[in-house]
Amino acid sequence: MFSRRKRRKPPVLGIVILALVLLGIAACCVAGTFHVELQFENRQEIVLEYGSDFTPEPATAVIKSSLFGEYLLTESANVYHSVRTDTVGSYDVVYSAGFLWMQESITQHVTVRDTQAPTITLVPDEDTTTLPGEEYQEAGFSAWDGYDGDITHLVQKRQEGSTVIYTVTDSSGNTAEIRRTIRIDDSVAPELTLKGETEMSVYFGTQFEDPGYTAVDNVDGVLTDKVQVQSDVNVYAFGSYTVTYTVTDSYGNTATITRKVTVVPAKQPQVAPPNGKVIYLTFDDGPSEHTARLLEILKKYNVKATFFVTNSSPMSILADMASDGHSIGVHTASHVYREIYASEEAFFRDFKIVHDKIEEITGIKTTLMRFPGGSSNTVSCFNKGIMSRLTKLVTDYGLQYFDWNVNSNDAGGTVSSEDVYNNVIAGVSGKDYSVVLQHDIHGYSVDAVELIIQWGLANGYTFLPLDSTSPGCHHTIRN
């Protein structure tokens, strides 16, 4: 017999309960009592520094109901982002969670910024100096930015006095500045240049005329007017001398240069014997009481003569001699042989007294002279060889000494004008040129002058004063 299996009854009660729950939940959701909520601490926009680390903040998802409270859904909500801290820009971080048909998402903004200024590095230049007014010669620099890399080419610089300011701005607008203090100084001495030769010769007794110089400084410019000149040149003493030129710029740099000057024997003018028959009337030892009368006689015939004067009165008459066109030379101040020829120094001391007096009264710096007693004198023999030395010295000094080839003998045995006249005429006759020795301190010698002039003019002679080119009629030196 067949048995009959019992049919199971469906779990009606369970189904009903589940349906009621779902219906309740749906009703609650519809009523707004259920929703998914994302929870995390920082909901503000996040700003990150370029190159920093970034980890999204974890978020918790809960189900909240106004009727049933809050239920944890998950402690790690879904997080989606593409944030790159190695690239400046704006990014989004998206948090999301869901339950059944309920979904929730939140977007958080993240900004990656570069706020770090670049770094400027200067090449050291402690030993470098910059000339005043000139631009600093750059020693070197570099600029590096954490985001842009090498931005040396973007560096801007400017110089303000003794400071060079370097600035650079990166692509994010961050600016860096650094300053270099420069040493402004001038260590270069002026350039001092001599005009003319660095070694020169100057004739004895002639003025040393400096050819000049120039001084130029790299900062101060032309400094020629600041040059200091020190010279020990003595044109009245043979030898070599040094002229020193010195100039200092405003920074204390000094330049010095020297010139060597050698005083050498004077160059004597070429002797030019006169053309035709010439008489040179010369008068020693004046002026005297007879000199004014002599000048009148000479003026009467327009004859020019030569006076070798002493330091005797009236010296003022020398001005008349000069204005009348006569030549004036030095004879002696004292005419004391023992004093004059005691030494070379003694001779020139005596000489200088008369020489300076002539220049003082007439303005003439004469080079004409006659030795007391003539160059052939023997009154100086107490000082052996002094005349040999003096004749060379005066020639080296640029002086012209004159002896005579016609002697009136008015300082010897002749004491009358007639004898003076005869002596002169006899001496002149037969000579192309004659240098006549007379003394205007003797009246009888002056008395003979007019007759001598008349005879000379009548016989075709010309009367001339001596000058530096006239024949010296030098005697044979006997000491």
The CATH number that applies at residue 170 is 2.60.40
Residue 407 backbone dihedrals phi, psi, to 5 degrees? -115, 120
Residues 6+ apart with CB under 8 A from 437: 282, 284, 404, 406, 407, 408
Same domain, 86 and 48: yes
Same domain, 234 and 331: no
Cα separation, 163 vs 185, whole angstroms: 13
Report yes or no on 472 lying in a domain: no
Which residue segment(s) compose the domain that 177 sits in? Answer: 119-184
Report yes or no on 48 lying in a domain: yes
Q: For the segment 324-375, what is each residue's pLDDT rounded down to a tens digit? A: 999 999 999 999 999 999 999 999 999 999 999 999 999 999 999 999 999 9
Report yes or no on 10 lying in a domain: no
Report yes or no on 273 lying in a domain: no
Mean pLDDT computed over every residue of the chain: 91
Q: For the segment 181-193, what is each residue's pLDDT rounded down to a tens digit? A: 988 888 889 999 9
Residues 6+ apart with CB under 8 A from 248: 190, 226, 254, 255
Same domain, 288 and 413: yes
The CATH number that applies at residue 204 is 2.60.40.10
Report yes or no on 5 lying in a domain: no
Report yes or no on 234 lying in a domain: yes
Residue 2 confidence (pLDDT) above 50? no
Q: 184, 215, 238 — which closes off a domain?
A: 184
* Of the listed ranges 8-12, 25-29, 244-248, 318-322, the one predicted with least confidence: 25-29
Report yes or no on 437 lying in a domain: yes
Residue 88 confidence (pLDDT) above 80? yes
Same domain, 180 and 195: no
Same domain, 243 and 325: no
Burial class (CB in 10 A: 0-12, 13-18, 19+), 373: middle
Same domain, 142 and 251: no
Cα separation, 467 vs 232, whole angstroms: 32
In a 3-state reduction of DSSP, which class is residue 94?
Answer: strand
Q: For the segment 220-275, what is each residue's pLDDT rounded down to a tens digit? A: 899 999 999 999 999 888 899 999 999 999 999 999 999 999 999 988 999 999 99
Q: How confident is the model at residue 3 (pLDDT cuts 50, 70, 90)?
A: very low
DSSP states of 263-325: EEPPPPPPP-PPSS-EEEEEEES---TTHHHHHHHHHHTT---EEEEES-S-TTHHHHHHHTT
Helix (H) or strand (E) holding 407: strand 406-407
Residue 128 confidence (pLDDT) above 70? yes
Same domain, 248 and 292: no
* Of the listed ranges 37-41, 300-304, 464-468, the one predicted with least confidence: 37-41
What pLDDT, on the 0 to 100 scale, is given for residue 201?
95
Residue 176 confidence (pLDDT) above 70? yes
Residues 6+ apart with CB under 8 A from 53: 85
Taking every pair of C-alpha atoms in the chain, what is the biggest distance, in angstroms? Answer: 222
List, in sequence order, the alpha helices (H) in 101-147. Answer: none
Same domain, 307 and 163: no
pLDDT > 70 fraction of the chain, expressed in percent and rounded: 94
Same domain, 172 and 229: no
Q: 184, 216, 232 — which closes off a domain?
A: 184
The CATH number that applies at residue 433 is 3.20.20.370
Burial readout 141-171 (b: 16 or more C-beta within 10 A, e: otherwise): bebbbbbbeebeeebeeeeeeeebebbbbbe
Same domain, 286 and 404: yes
Amino acid letter, residue 194: L
Residue 126 confidence (pLDDT) above 90? no
Report yes or no on 15 lying in a domain: no
Q: What is the domain count for the chain? A: 4
Enter the pTM of the model: 0.59
Joined tokens for residue 356: 């300076």
User: Cα–Cα–Cα angle for 232, 233, 236, nearest 5°?
Assistant: 125
Q: How confident is the model at residue 132 (pLDDT cuts 50, 70, 90)?
A: confident
Q: 96, 113, 130 — which closes off a domain?
A: 113
Same domain, 289 and 256: no
Same domain, 432 and 296: yes
